[in-house]
Amino acid sequence: MDTIPADLLEAIADEIPDYASLKAFSLTGSSFRAPSQRILLRTKKLKIPAVSAEKILDFLEESPHVAGYVRALELTLLPTLAALPSLTYTEEVLGKFKNMAHLTIINPYRCRWVDGSGMSLIILDFIRRQTLQSLHLSSFDQLPANLFPFFLSSAPTVTLLKVSAETDSSRLGDDVTIPVLSKVESLALYYTADLGEVLLSPRCSPHLQNLRRFWGPLGFQFTRDIIGASSNTLQEICFDGIDIGISPPISPFPLPDLPSLRFLKVVIRPGERDTQWLVEMICSMLKVAVESVYVLFLARYASFVLSDRTMDTLNEALRGRVHLPWLRWGIYYKAEGDELLDNFRAAVERGIPRAHSVGRLSVERVSSGEISYWPSGIL
């Protein structure tokens, strides 16, 4: 067994589809253990404190090579995590990792970010030492404005979920050394307060100059401003629904000239389906020179329908297009059976006959597993 080349063992382990089989494979012999650990930890997200930092530290000290296999980490900030000895264990655990690609930081208790505090310094130092591919922040209220250029320069993909910025100019935070990394290429904003003033400030805006993909709430001023600031480089845009309870949307706005744009997506929630505002917004999207438009309806219940007037308006928006985009319509609902899907497909095909007749129209049912807040699950 020990004579089998390590790269062959790793290639075999890489083809094993489930955890139980991979575990059995690792017990075959001593030379099988490392390839199995590498594959398992590369594809699984390590969660702290779902597994206590103390236990993880003990494990990493017994098997120090394992730290190099972990590629994804989810750190949940609890009030107890900021106190000794948990803080010490967390710092030591994070100090073991030098090859992290994906970092998620969740703040369920809305713990306030305090500049210079133990946990704040630990997180910033950890991010600075990694070469991240994605950084996801969830549930942070009034983050100091100085942190945003740091986060935008820390990974090519950045998600801000339920995040707001400190508006008191007297408490903008201490200066933070910004990592010398590539500018953010994918930015997702969900259920955020107005971050436009911070993200388009002189300190942040240079980090948006290479933005390729943007996900944001439909119909807000800061959404429009970010798109305008990145209009030359944007290739994909996803608008989430307007039902986010932050503030009324602005008037429907025409999208600017987007020479690199290939893909537009809009997510529509139940209460928005036939509103004049939303219909006008989708019409402005259909007039953009883009390869593909994806409209996803979160119907949830079987009472969801689109009015004939809505479909007539959308069809009219396409009348002047010489080259039709690929129109992909998705619908998500909880009821069993395909009756709602069939009715929805019939309404769309009847409402946009030209796109249907030339094969530029598709309608499909979307499963709950295909709906995600993170960018990797959206496009």
3-state SS record for the chain: CCCCCHHHHHHHHHCCCCHHHHHHHHCCCHHHHHHHHHHHHHHCEEEECCCCHHHHHHHHHHCHHHHHCCCEEEEECCHHHHCCCHHHHHHHHHHHCCCCCEEEEECCCCCCCCCCCHHHHHHHHHHHHCCCCEEEEEEEEEECCCHHHHHHCCCCEEEEEEEEECCCHHHCCCCCCCCCCCCCCEEEEECCCCCHHHHCCCCCHHHHCCCCEEEEECCCHHHHHHHHHCCCCCCEEEEECCCCCCCCCCCCCCCCCCCCCCEEEEEECHHHCCCHHHHHHHHHHHCCCCCEEEEEEEEECCCCCCCHHHHHHHHHHCCCCCCCCEEEEEEEECCCCCHHHHHHHHHHHHHCHHHHHCCCEEEEECCHHHCCCCHHHCC
Q: Dihedral, CA atoms, 370, 371, 375, 378, nearest 10 degrees?
A: 70
Task: Give the whole-angstrom CA distance, residue 266 versus residue 190.
Answer: 13
The answer to whether residue 23 sits within a structural domain is yes
Residue 235: the pLDDT is 94
Range of the domain at 13: 1-43
CA distances from 314 to 239, 281, 299, 360, 377 (A): 17, 10, 19, 15, 27
Alpha-carbon gap, residue 2 to 33, rounded angstroms: 11
Domain annotation covers residue 337: no
**Hunting for tokens 């985009």 — which residue is that?**
325
- The model's pTM is 0.81
- Cβ neighbour number for residue 58 with a 10 Å cutoff: 13
Domains of the chain: total: 1
2 assigned to some structural domain: yes
Decide if 32 is inside a domain: yes
Question: Residue 39 domain-assigned?
Answer: yes
Specify if 216 maps to a domain. no
Calpha distance 213→217 (Å, rounded): 14
What is the rounded CA–CA span in Å between residue 129 and residue 204?
21
82, part of any domain: no
278: in domain: no
Interstrand relation of 213-217 and 45-48 (parallel, antiparallel or unpaired): unpaired
Q: The tokens of 368 are what?
A: 């709950």
pLDDT of residue 2: 55
Q: Is the peptide bond before 85 cis (omega within 30 degrees of 0)?
A: yes
Which pLDDT score is estimated for 152? 92
User: Residue 178: its pLDDT value, please?
Assistant: 61
Neighbours of 348 (CB within 10 A): 21
* Per-10-residue mean pLDDT, the chain, length 379: 64 57 60 60 65 75 79 82 71 88 90 76 91 92 89 92 74 54 81 80 88 86 87 90 50 79 83 70 80 83 71 85 88 84 89 91 84 46
